[in-house]
Structure 1
C-alpha cells in the first residue's frame, strides 16, 4: 500500500497537463482543403463582382458612328452619330445625328445610256435629310455573365432638315457657232425644255452640282427600332440597329417629274454602329 501511493500522486499531478494539451490541440485544428477552396472561391467571386460593378460604373456612356442603308436609298444610305449615357441600367438617354439621302421608291434608271453612263429618268431633285434627334433606349435583354449580345429598344424624335438639291445631268450638244460638240452639266428640268437646243443626255452630273440652288424643306421625324449590342473586347462598342423612320415635311417635296409630291416619307433602315465606351 505504501508502494502504490506515489503512483496515484504522480497520476494526479499529470492529469492537468494532459487536459491542457488536449484543449490546445482542439483549438489549433488545421483547415481542410475543401474549406480552403471554398474560402478562395468566395473571395474570387466577391472580387469578380466588385470588378464587374466597378467596370459598369466606370463606363459612363458610349460614342458611336454608324453606316446605314435604307429602303429609300442605295447600298450606302448615309452616316449616323450617336452618344448615350449610362445613368440607369434599364434605360439610357441618347442624342444622335443622321445624314441620309432619301430617294423616291418609284425611281428607275433610264434604259438609254451613253458609254456606260446612266441617269435617273424624270428626276428633278435630290433630297438630303439632316436629322438631329433626342430619345431613349430601353434594355430588353441584358448580356449574360459569360458574354453574348444585348437587346435594346429605341425611340427617338427630332426635326428633319431637308435640302432639295436640283438633279443635274451632263448633256452633249453641237455649238452652231463653232460646230464643235460641247458637254456641260445642267438641271434635268432644262434638258426637258431643250433650252440648250438639240442635246443628248449622256449621264448624271455630280450629286452636289446644284447645291448652290438648294432649298430648305423643314419637317419632323419619329424613329423606332431595336439595337443588338454585340460582345466586344475592352472598351470597344459594336451594334446592329434595325428600325423604321417617318419623315413629315411642312410642304410637299417633289423628287420625280409627273408624280405627285408628298409630305410624308416612310423608311426602313439598317445601321452598323462601331465606337467606344468611356
Structure 2
C-alpha cells in the first residue's frame, strides 16, 4: 500500500508540473454538468477501499458545486490475517465486526489550472463533507466444537458452528476452522451515524469535450459520537482497542462524462 501511494503522489507531481505548462483560459467551460465514477484506495481500507460516484454542476469559469456518494470498507490498523495450516482457511483473529461506511458528500470545487481545449491536465481543488453512515456487520468464524472419543481419536459427533468472535466466549484460536461467508451476519447489521470532511486536489484529463478521466487525492477526517468496535481482545476494553476518529489519506481513480 505504501508503494501505491508513493507511485500515486509521484504521478500527481508530474501531472501538476505538466498542467502548469498549459495556457490558462478564462473562457466559459463548454459543459455544464459532469458525472464521474471511480475506485477508491485509502489508508483505512484494504487493497481496494471502495467505490465512488459524483455529480458536478458548473457555476462559472472557476467554481462548481458537487454531490456524491461513496461506499468503502474501513479496517482496523491492527488487523492481521491468520492461516489455518490444517484446513487452509484464513481469518482475522480478534475481528468482531466488519465496518462498511456510506458517505454522502456535498461541496465546492475550484479550478486552479484549466487545461487547453483538446489536451493537457486540469487541476481542481475541492472541499466537501457530509454525514457518515457506518454499517457494522458481525464477522463470523467457523469454530470446531467436535467432541473426540476419549479426548482424542475419532470424533463422536462433528460440531462446526458459525459464531461472531467474543473474547469472553470463544477466544481459543485452536478451535478456528475458517472465516464464514462475508454476509453471514447481514441480518444483525447495525447503523452508526457520524460526519466527515475532506479536502483534495483532482488532476483531470479529457481529450474530448464529453469525456473525462483523472485522479483525485486528498485527506479525510471522520468522526462518530462513540467508539466503533471492530476488534476485540481478552483483558483489553473495547474502548481502548477501538476509536471513534478515522483520519485517512485517499486516492481515487475516476472516469466519466460531461454534458
TM bracket (short chain)? 0.7 to 0.9
Return closer, same or farther for 1:198/1:132 CA change in 2, 3 Å cut-off: closer
**Residue in structure 1 matched with residue 186 of structure 2 by the alignment:** 211
Q: 1:113 to 1:62 in 2, by over 3 A?
A: farther
Question: Using a 3 Å threshold, how does the CA distance of structure 1 residues 236 and 145 change in structure 2: closer, same or farther?
Answer: closer
Q: TM-score, normalised by structure 1?
A: 0.73
Map Cα deviations across residues 34-63 of structure 1 (whole Å, 9 max, x no partner): xxxxxxxxxxxxxxxxxxx79x34x11111
Q: Offset of 1:114 from its aligned partner?
A: 4.2
The CA distance in 1 between the partners of 2:60 and 2:256, in whole Å, is 20
Contact residue 173 and residue 182 of structure 1 kept, 8 A: yes
Contact kept, 8 Å, 1:173 with 1:198, in 2: the verdict is no
Matches of 1:116 and 1:198, distance apart in 2: 14
1:57-103 alpha-carbon deviations (Å, 9 max, x no partner): 4x111111111111111111111010001221111001010111001
The structure having more radius of gyration, on CA atoms, is 1
1:219-243: CA deviations, max 9, x gaps? 0100111111013334121111111
Seen in structure 2, the aligned counterparts of structure 1 residues 272 and 106 have a Cα distance that, compared at 3 Å, is: same
User: What displacement does 1:115 show?
Assistant: 2.9
The CA distance in 1 between the partners of 2:194 and 2:104, in whole Å, is 12
1:277 aligns with 2:242: no
**Is residue 193 of structure 1 aligned with residue 169 of structure 2?**
yes
1:158-178 Cα distance to aligned partner (Å, 9 max, x none): 0011111111112233268x9
Structure 1 position 94 matched with structure 2 position 78: no
Q: How does 1:35-184 map to 2 (within 5 A)?
A: 56-57=29-30, 59-110=31-82, 112-145=84-117, 147-174=119-146, 179-184=156-161
Distance across 2 between alignment mates of 1:72 and 1:139: 29
On the 8 A contact 1:113/1:203 being kept in 2, the answer is no
Gaps of 5+ in 1: 1-52
Alignment RMSD (CA, Å): 2.5
Q: Is the 8 A contact 2:89 2:178 kept in 1?
A: yes
Total equivalences in the alignment: 222
Tell me the distance in 2 between the aligned counterparts of 1:148 and 1:198.
55
Task: Tell me if the contact between 1:133 and 1:159 (Cα under 8 Å) persists in the aligned partners.
Answer: yes
Distance in 2 (CA, whole Å) between partners of 1:276 and 1:152 is 17
Closer/same/farther in 2, CA of residues 113 and 127 from structure 1, 3 Å limit: farther
Task: Sort the Cα spacing of 1:72 and 1:114 in 2 relative to 1 into closer, same or farther, 3 A.
Answer: farther
Instruction: Tell me if structure 2 keeps the 8 A contact 1:92–1:138.
Output: yes
Specify every segment of 5 or more residues in structure 2 that has no aligned partner in the other structure, as ranges.
Answer: 1-26, 149-154
Partner in structure 2 of residue 242 of structure 1: 217
8 Å contact from structure 1 (residues 222, 247) kept in 2: yes
- SS state of the match for residue 119, structure 1? strand
- Normalized per residue, the structure richer in helix is 1
CA deviation map 1:9-46 (0-9, x unaligned): xxxxxxxxxxxxxxxxxxxxxxxxxxxxxxxxxxxxxx
**What TM-score do you get using the length of structure 2 for normalisation?**
0.78
